[in-house]
Structure 1
Amino acid sequence: MIINNMTHSTIGLKKRVSNAINPLIQVSIYTGLALLSTATMATEKSIPELVDAVNGTPDTASREAGKKVKLRNHAKGFCTSGMFKPAAQINNQFNIPFFEQQQISVTARFSLGGTNPHASDKGAGRFMSLKIDGDKESLNFVTSNAQLFFASNLEDFFTFQTKVKQGAEGKQWLINNKPDAKAFFEYVSQLPKSSSFATSRYFGVNSFLFDKPDNTQVAGRWIFEPAAGEVALTQAELATRSDDFLQQELLNRIETTPAVWNLYVKLADSNDIITDPTVLWPESRQRVLVGQVIIDGKQDKQTSVQQCDKSIFNPVLLPEGIAPSADPILNARTPAYIESFIRRL
């Protein structure tokens, strides 16, 4: 029964995508549709149910209301642009032809978590999504300033999203019953409230497989380190900020000084678990410098940047030499993003 429902859902998604969006966006969308089968079979919950859990739309009435207001996660955010410069010696470490290009354009979206487009910037959460579009291939990132995730499988993901919508009671239930959620809440409670999107570290909690020059593969996770260093606000400083300071701060900053991050791959040891984003790898693990992301806003007038909300950031849209791991959270992201995107059309 799950397989039949899944097949019809995939066909329906393709029809709705084809009828509603232009061919360039379709290319990005279709790369994720093949993952819908795997992601749905891995859980009793369907992709639409997972999106409902994130959006807080558990019934027909709330779902239809959500479509009318184009409900989405990371509702508060904005797009800007820049470039990516691969590290000079990166091809000594990885066999990834994409990194042979000298400079690649970047579309970036900075955001907060949650479905509230008026959320306060004074919380700790920061998110950065990137599209790095090369001559023939693309590399997308979906990252946050939290280094670990709250669920290792899709059932626990659904439960977490459902319970947090219940407020303090639901959160306490998670703390009492779900160790991964408890660890996540404890981690987030210690996160500094950064002064800028530009002074935040960003992490890819999911693992990918990277080809090496000797034709072997190594697992790794993405880390973005701000070149300006991490800068946190004190409570007194935070009190002087408005609830909407982050966007204008970054846009003002890059008018004179680009925001720069060094991109690393943190390599897994043979004993590290690569399919569970709730597990932190030790800080002693080797890191490989991949290149620099430079956000300067110089391409902000391009249509692709101005309309970046009209597509998705597809974390498994990968160039030759990089492959997704078997992490169920990673492989559910694209079909879930597609479902959420289509609801906003």
Structure 2
Amino acid sequence: MISKNVNSLIKVSILSSLSIFSAPLFATEKTIPELVDAVNGTLDTESREAGKKVKLRNHAKGFCTSGVFKPSAKINNALAIPLFNQAEIGVIARFSLGGTNPHASDKGAGRFMSLKIDGNNESLNFVTTNSQVFFASDIDDFFTFQTKVKQGAEGKQWLIDNKPDAKAFFEHIDQMLPSSSFANSAYFGVNSFLFNTYDNQITAGRWIFEPVEEKSTLSQVQLAHLTDDFLKEELLTRIKAKPAMWNVYIKFAEEGDSIDDPTILWPESRQHLLVGEVIINGSRDDEAATLQCEKSIFNPVQLPKGIAPSADPILNARAPAYIESFIRRL
């Protein structure tokens, strides 16, 4: 448990970095605390204080494990990212479900994977989901979506009737089937980043994690024989015998593709570059970084030299929102 003194030091440090976000973001009236309230469903003082007491957070149901990232031997022929000069880099992974319920059922279709790749001098974090489609292109629509879905069926129908991006998102996830494991799910970074190429150009791309194992989904009959908590045990048991592995790609944009809107999918015909391989094997599960993973933040704009965030407002709101949520749980 973190001591009160350490808690205070952490809070002072983070509040200093957060102060620039106290004003509204971009062309919106919404602030970072308001966005966190929308996600948590704590839009009034009473519920907000109650949420702090129970350490309310998004992706509340999840667990951490570890492994390594091995960059492709040829990656430096394409990109100028010094971090990828290392032959092998340690990984901390958190697998989770969406939402604030720590007792949510694993039988839904949503799967999330966050990664910290900590090199000798730099780090690279990922925040990914098994859905390629995002539900909002700007901060106002993000806030509206989060508040409306908390209203249940009526709020969802309002979004379908009034927000085309939300409608497309619901249509996409309604077609998704639950995977049988975190290990055989593909994961996508819905936000775009800017990458330095070996010939001093800058190109936009999005992350894709393709499982090495064949993808497998579960029928309703199969789900009926599983508990609501099967995913954690399945993965941790699996990696004792054989690592879970993903090939990591960057999907590059072409001229005319929308870079700053996470609701717009780029065609599958776009170039894919193999960056490396994530291998989750539990090899660092006894180390402090893994054991304390739940007390850390996966910051998608913590980037090494050669990678920069795009102007996507959703991407650039993530880090301060994660910090605000973290502070409330101290």
How far 1:289 moved relative to its partner? 0.2
Cα pair distance change 1:124/1:253, threshold 3 Å: same
Report the Cα distance in structure 2 between the residues aligned to 1:17 and 1:213, rounded to whole angstroms.
43
Cα deviation per residue 1:215-254 (whole Å; 9 max; x = unaligned)?
Answer: 1100000000000021111221111111000000000000
2:60 maps to 75
Equivalent of 2:208 in 208, 214, 223: 223
How far 1:309 moved relative to its partner? 1.2
1:134 maps to 119
Structure 1 counterpart SS, 2:241: coil
Report the Cα distance in structure 2 between the residues aligned to 1:35 and 1:152, rounded to whole angstroms.
22
Equivalent of 1:197 in 182, 206, 225: 182
How far 1:31 moved relative to its partner? 10
Q: Is the 8 A contact 1:224 1:262 kept in 2?
A: yes
Equivalent of 1:275 in 233, 241, 260: 260
Compute the TM-score of the two structures, normalised by the length of structure 1: 0.91
Equivalent of 2:8 in 3, 16, 19: 19
Equivalent of 2:169 in 165, 184, 190: 184
Q: Is the 8 A contact 2:126 2:298 kept in 1?
A: yes
2:129 maps to 144
Cα deviation per residue 1:130-169 (whole Å; 9 max; x = unaligned)?
Answer: 0000000000000000001100000000000000000000
Report the Cα distance in structure 2 between the residues aligned to 1:250 and 1:18, rounded to whole angstroms.
32
1:243 maps to 228
Cα deviation per residue 1:301-333 (whole Å; 9 max; x = unaligned)?
Answer: 111101111110000000000000000000000
2:89 maps to 104
Q: Which amino acid aligns with 1:120?
A: S
1:113 maps to 98
Q: Is the 8 A contact 1:36 1:335 kept in 2?
A: yes
Report the Cα distance in structure 1 between the residues aligned to 2:150 and 2:17, rounded to whole angstroms.
28
Report the Cα distance in structure 1 between the residues aligned to 2:56 and 2:74, rounded to whole angstroms.
43
Determine which structure has the larger helix proportion and give its number. Answer: 1
* C-alpha RMSD of matched pairs (Å): 1.9
How far 1:43 moved relative to its partner? 1.8
Q: Is the 8 A contact 1:42 1:328 kept in 2?
A: no
Instruction: Count matched residues.
Output: 326
Q: Is the 8 A contact 1:39 1:328 kept in 2?
A: no
Q: Which amino acid aligns with 1:194?
A: S
Q: Is the 8 A contact 2:116 2:126 kept in 1?
A: yes
Equivalent of 2:198 in 213, 230, 236: 213
Report the Cα distance in structure 2 between the residues aligned to 1:192 and 1:97, rounded to whole angstroms.
39
Q: Is the 8 A contact 1:35 1:335 kept in 2?
A: no
Q: Is the 8 A contact 1:32 1:314 kept in 2?
A: no
Q: Which amino acid aligns with 1:342?
A: I
Structure 2 counterpart SS, 1:210: strand
Q: Is the 8 A contact 2:26 2:313 kept in 1?
A: no
Q: Is the 8 A contact 2:21 2:31 kept in 1?
A: no
Deviating beyond 3 angstroms after TM superposition, the runs of 4 or more aligned structure 1 residues are 29-35
Structure 2 counterpart SS, 1:198: coil
Q: Is the 8 A contact 1:81 1:106 kept in 2?
A: yes
Cα deviation per residue 1:240-297 (whole Å; 9 max; x = unaligned)?
Answer: 1110000000000000100000000000011100100000000111100000000000
Compute the TM-score of the two structures, normalised by the length of structure 2: 0.95
Q: Which amino acid aligns with 2:240?
A: E
Cα pair distance change 1:153/1:212, threshold 3 Å: same
Structure 1 counterpart SS, 2:183: helix
Q: Is the 8 A contact 2:160 2:167 kept in 1?
A: yes
Counterparts of residues 4-43 of structure 1 (less than 5 Å): 19-21=8-10, 33=18, 36=21, 40-43=25-28
Structure 2 counterpart SS, 1:200: coil
Structure 1 counterpart SS, 2:76: helix
Report the Cα distance in structure 1 between the residues aligned to 2:83 and 2:23, rounded to whole angstroms.
27
Counterparts of residues 318-337 of structure 1 (less than 5 Å): 318-337=303-322
Structure 2's unaligned 5+ residue stretches are: none
